[in-house]
Amino acid sequence: MKYLIAGLGNIGSEYENTRHNIGFVVADILVNELKGEFETQRLASVSKVKFRSKTLVVIKPTTYMNLSGKAVKYWLQKEKIPIENLLVILDDIALPIGTLRLKKKGGDAGHNGLTSIIETLNTTVFPRLRIGIGNDFPRGYQVDYVLGKWTKKEEEILTPKIHKSIDIVKSFVAIGIDRTMNLYNNK
């Protein structure tokens, strides 16, 4: 059984350690824990790792956030992975910093990466793990905020939550989305 784990972010050193790239951070740590390595392939950096005898195809799209759907669709089709075995990991300004929310479906909540995936796959029904980055920015400064670097205080809050995100991904693969949602949402 195969799973596609898509951590969203933007490529390039100028985007490293920015709030918008938390999906890349989770993907990096997951692959590292499972002793894998990324290599640049079509539309994404890709790593194939094993967890509990299942194959995880972990991608970090190289298309930039606004075209994430191209990479997700390509790798779902190439690896013949059913959409219910897709897990998208992304930042969410609507959630307080450090809040983790696993969902089976939903809208894009104004997130351009999610918009691209929804439009490309033509459905809102696919699992996603939203990681709250908060919304502590003045009106009109959302782009500056999401593309801004983490503060020391934010890193202290998020570091344990990133590791909990890894647990959520592993649980999703091991026991499915419903049981994982019951275990981790609202905790």
pLDDT-based confidence at 119, cuts 50/70/90? very high
Average per-residue pLDDT for the chain: 94
39 confidence band (pLDDT: 50, 70, 90):
very high
**Residue 187: pLDDT over 70:** no
Q: What are 56-95's pLDDT values in tens digits?
A: 999 999 998 999 999 999 999 999 999 999 999 999 999 9
| Model confidence pLDDT, tens digit, residues 138-170 | 788 888 888 888 889 999 999 999 999 999 999
- Between 110 and 40, name the one with better pLDDT: 40
DSSP 67: G
pLDDT digit string, tens, across residues 9-18: 999 999 998 9
Write out the catalytic residue numbers: 20
| Structure token digits, residue 73 | 């669709």
Domains defined for the chain, CATH in brackets? 2-184 (3.40.50.1470)
Q: What percent of the chain has pLDDT over 70?
A: 99
Q: How confident is the model at residue 26 (pLDDT cuts 50, 70, 90)?
A: very high
b/e 88-104 (16+ beta carbons within 10 angstroms → b): bbbbbbebebbbbbbee
Mean pLDDT of 180-186: 90
Nearest to 118 by CA among 41, 63, 66: 66
Rounded alpha-carbon distances, angstroms, from residue 102 to 15, 90, 172, 185: 25, 11, 9, 6
Q: 29 in the Ramachandran plot: left (φ > 0), alpha (ψ -120 to 50) or beta? A: alpha
Look at residue 140 in the predicted model and tell me its pLDDT.
83
